[in-house]
Amino acid sequence: MTTITHVDNAEPTAFTQDDLGWLPWLEPFPAEQLTERHWAGLVDASRSKSDYFMLLARDPDILQFRTKTDKDIFYNTKSGLPRAERELAAAATSRFNGCIFCASVHARFATQFSKRRDDVQRLLDEGVGAKIDTRWDAVIAASVALTETPVAFGDEQIDALREAGLDDREIVDVINGSAFFNWANRLMLSLGEPAPPEKG
């Protein structure tokens, strides 16, 4: 068995909000062999078009539960942190770990929900030390401290989040959002590579 290499791929070398592609280093699960258990793992049928999800479909159960964890952390807006700031936590975590692909997706979402494209771009260009405003800086600093190994998240970050006006429910959303991207970044970074946006 061997891995797949993409010698012709011009891998992006900077963080961007562009719509990047992703190329797998291992063979995705063959579409014609998908069983009911695999479809359950994919959760949304449309994900069978994605090499990333089709590769993860090789272990369908953990894929299913991972996807459902993800959706509730980011899409359940009945209470807690606004979507824009959950996406900011995801983008900051990805920026700090160095996942250019993940950062591109979640920087785009952060822009979409906050309408603050330039501020989001500063996080990508300047890195996690960028000074944006009290609230965003607190969310970024908390995501970074939680992403360090060993985890460095504690009173300093929590006090800053509280001073920025976040309550415990919102702080737990920051924790969940950043923690989840420590899961996602490692899969995206280690099973394939980003590719430039498709033309046209």
Among 100, 123, 138, 141, binds other proteins (CB under 8 A): 100
Q: Which is nearer to other proteins, 75 or 200 (CB)?
A: 75
Among 121, 191, 195, 196, binds other proteins (CB under 8 A): 191
- First CA to last CA distance, the chain: 35
Binding mask 9-38 for other proteins (x = CB under 8 A): --xxxxx---------xxx-----------
CB of 172 to other proteins, least distance (A): 5
Distance CA 107, CA 110 (A): 5
CB of 126 to other proteins, least distance (A): 11
Which residues ranging from 153 to 172 are in contact with other proteins (CB under 8 A)? Answer: 153-155, 158-159, 168-169, 171-172
Going by C-beta distance under 8 Å and a sequence separation of 6 or more, which residues neighbour residue 150?
Answer: none
* Total of chain residues touching other proteins, rule CB under 8 A: 66
For residue 192, how far is the Cα from the chain centroid? Answer: 15
Q: Does 50 bind other proteins (CB under 8 A)?
A: no
Q: Does 148 bind other proteins (CB under 8 A)?
A: yes
- Decide if 12 contacts 198 (C-beta within 8 A): no
Cα–Cα separations (whole angstroms), residue 125 to 3, 16, 50, 122, 134: 32, 8, 28, 5, 19
Query: Residue 60, preceding bond cis, omega within 30 degrees?
Result: no
Q: Does 129 bind other proteins (CB under 8 A)?
A: no
